[in-house]
Amino acid sequence: MTGTALALGLLAAWWATGLRPFTLPAAAVTIGAGLAALAVGARRPRPANRPPNIPAPDIRLWALLVLALGAWELAAFLQHPRVDHPTLSSLADVVLRYHPARAAAFLAWLGLGAGLGRQ
């Protein structure tokens, strides 16, 4: 990645995470950037030195992870007080209340999308 592309990505992430949450512009930018990351990832060639027979992660593993995280979220949500039983979203809110952290998370999310598109 060139320095110019990285700088533009940082500026775009800073701008996108400065939008008011849960509004149409924020949703449109998030969805559009995610689709663009998937498209960019899909266009990038795979490394030539990658062994051809690397098994993909089993869908059951991903389902188990999603179910475990969902169960944690629900169990923590139903228990009180919240300070003693934080949900995943309340833990994330502690970090993501700061603009630099939101921008970094947005860039990480786009990087993950590009990586998934490359598969």
The mean pLDDT value of the chain amounts to: 86
97 vs 44, residue with greater confidence: 97
Domain boundaries, the chain: 3-47+57-118
- What does R_g of the chain's alpha carbons equal in angstroms? 18
Could you tell me the pLDDT band of residue 98, with boundaries at 50, 70 and 90? Answer: very high
Residue 17's pLDDT is: 94
For residue 96, which of 109, 80, 111 has the smallest C-alpha distance? 109
- Average pLDDT, integer, range 23-42: 91
For the cut 70, the answer to whether the pLDDT of residue 55 exceeds it is no
Statement: residue 111 has pLDDT above 80: yes
